[in-house]
Amino acid sequence: MAYKTHKITLAPTFRQRRWFAQQCGYARFAYNRALADFKTGLAQDTFQSWQTLNNNFNKTKKNYTWVKAQDQRAALYAIKNLGQGIANWVAKRAKFPKFKKRGVRDAYTTDEQSVRVEGKRIKLPKVGWIKMRQALRFVGNIIKVTISRTAHRWFASISVETEDTEVIDNSTHPVIGIDVGINTLATLSDGTKYDNPRPLRRYERKLKHAQRKLSRKVLKSKNWFKQKRKIDRIHYRIACIRRNAHHKATTEIVKNASTIGIETLKVTNLLKHKKLAKALSDSALGGFLSKLKTKAEARGVCVIEADQFFASSKTCSSCGHKKKELLLSERMYQCGVCQYQKDRDVNAAINLRHLAVG
């Protein structure tokens, strides 16, 4: 059995949006209470599990009358998430959890009890049926549903336990290499190029004016929140354009490949370059490669990652000669040994293909 998640845009009424906001607030309240309890225990040299934190919260929540009307699963899953965050901190995979703030990553989770999906609508506990923009893509048992807000839109991430019976034959497809960049999002070894929309650069002027207006408002006044929502919409638009380009390119690449050779990027190191940091952040190359690997794994396509120090751009794809230096301004690769000449990005993609072939 496989677990798959489909994130669907909702079309809630005003009453339903208000209910979502209340549950997000309740989840945030439970998370912050449990985190404060955990920090108090640490100060007394007592390490508390998430079950203990949940039991303590259930005892103290009786003091608040408004809690009875809320979905209690929202608090349970919030404390469970805190437990996972603490486990990651103990294993040194992440930093110590922080208190949640209102309006930042608002979300709450409920489980399969009382959840039903029929066509383009979903039934959630205590709020009833809610319209969805599209039908659920997967068939199977619903495990949990996470309601989240991004800018002005509400989403339902529905996790389903399904059996993947689809068999895809990729043996007839070619082996390809992919070189990612700023000007061109992805360049394939066969010469195909996918343009990089760079939405931040397109909306940078509009975003700058909106943020300047926000700075002139009285902090946390009605006009301040109104302008803040406008900025959130611009950021949401930028993210949608970037994500759309990534999904279209990765889907088309994975459908037409048997094996893919890619480079290993250390994004944190790349962002230290002062002149390229903004352009690299706008391109989100790490997110592109992550989507590519996820889709390739789902379709059974093998992904070969090059070594971190593999010089795909400096190496000649014809004779294997490696240049000592290659400036960013040199868009055409010219080999000084065999006189081979090729587009710089295509040459790097061919080298990655050679690596994938082995």
Catalytic sites, residue numbers: 179, 263, 345
Q: Side chain identity at 351, as an amino acid letter?
A: N
**Alpha carbon distance 226, 214 (integer Å):** 9
Spell out the residues 6+ positions from residue 290 whose beta carbon is closer than 8 angstroms to its own.
none
What separation in angstroms does the CA of 211 have from each of 101, 153, 203, 204, 306? 20, 21, 12, 10, 41
DSSP, residue by residue, 96-147: PP----TTSS-EEEEESTT-EEETTEEEETTTEEEEBSS--S--SEEEEEEE
- Please report where in the chains the tokens 């996972």 appear, as a residue: 84
Alpha helices (H) along the chain: 14-43, 50-60, 72-90, 199-215, 222-255, 267-270, 277-283, 285-299, 344-357
Spell out the residues 6+ positions from residue 234 whose beta carbon is closer than 8 angstroms to its own.
203, 206, 207, 210
| Beta pairing class for 302-305 and 259-262 | parallel
Asked if 124 and 147 touch (Cβ cutoff 8 Å), the reply is yes
Q: Is 179 helix (H, G, I), strand (E, B) or coil?
A: strand
| Beta pairing class for 175-180 and 128-131 | unpaired
User: What's the token pair of residue 62?
Assistant: 């009786």
Closest CA to 82 of 121, 147, 38: 38
Asked if 300 and 168 touch (Cβ cutoff 8 Å), the reply is yes
**For the purposes of burial, counting CB atoms within 10 Å of the CB of 58, is it exposed (0-12), middle (13-18) or buried (19 or more)?**
middle
